[in-house]
Amino acid sequence: MSRVILADTGPLYALVDPSDRNHQRAQQELQAIERQKRSLMVLSSTLLETYRLVLYRLGTQTALQFAEEIQKGAELYNPQVLDYQQALERLKQYPDQKISLCDAVVAVVAERLGYPVWTYDHHFFVMTIQVWQL
């Protein structure tokens, strides 16, 4: 079992926004991750996507606080150019799905590194990616 869990935007955003329907769930899952002594990895592309959502929905101060917390509590990882190329190829496999490029990059990196993804997005199941769940 991998000690590292790759975080997707959904749970990260839910942690920050008390009005998000998954807020309590995300908090409970983060506590479980910490109890299991696992670590979170956040792709730079996921950080950027989540920061933008927090910024426009919750404001500048909350977005800055979010980014600082991520820097303290998670390992940041920059996807490689090949990850983006492979993600584009992966998207071509699912023309009937609206899968974001960000999610496809997370999927490619998760497969390459062998890490499960902490997500609430059904597209990871469609792409047959290992998903971390309580």
Question: How do residues 112-121 score in pLDDT, each as one tens digit?
Answer: 999 999 999 9
**For position 2, what pLDDT does the model report?**
77
Q: Is residue 81 part of a domain?
A: yes
Q: Is residue 134 part of a domain?
A: no
Q: Is residue 20 part of a domain?
A: yes
Q: What is the pLDDT of residues 79-126, one digit of tens each?
A: 999 999 999 999 999 999 999 999 999 999 999 999 999 999 999 999
Q: Is residue 89 part of a domain?
A: yes
Q: Is residue 57 part of a domain?
A: yes
Contact 101, 91 (CB under 8 A): yes
Domain boundaries, position 76: 4-126
- Which CATH number is 80's domain given? 3.40.50.1010
In this predicted structure, the answer to whether residue 17 has a pLDDT above a threshold of 70 is yes
Q: Is residue 131 part of a domain?
A: no
Q: Is residue 45 part of a domain?
A: yes
Q: Is residue 25 part of a domain?
A: yes
Q: What is the pLDDT of residues 37-51, one digit of tens each?
A: 999 999 999 999 999
Average pLDDT of the segment spanning 45-67? 98
Tokens of 27: 């908090």
In this predicted structure, the answer to whether residue 30 has a pLDDT above a threshold of 70 is yes
In this predicted structure, the answer to whether residue 1 has a pLDDT above a threshold of 80 is no
Task: Name the residue type at position 130.
Answer: Q
User: Based on the structure, what is the number of domains in the chain?
Assistant: 1
pTM for this predicted structure: 0.95
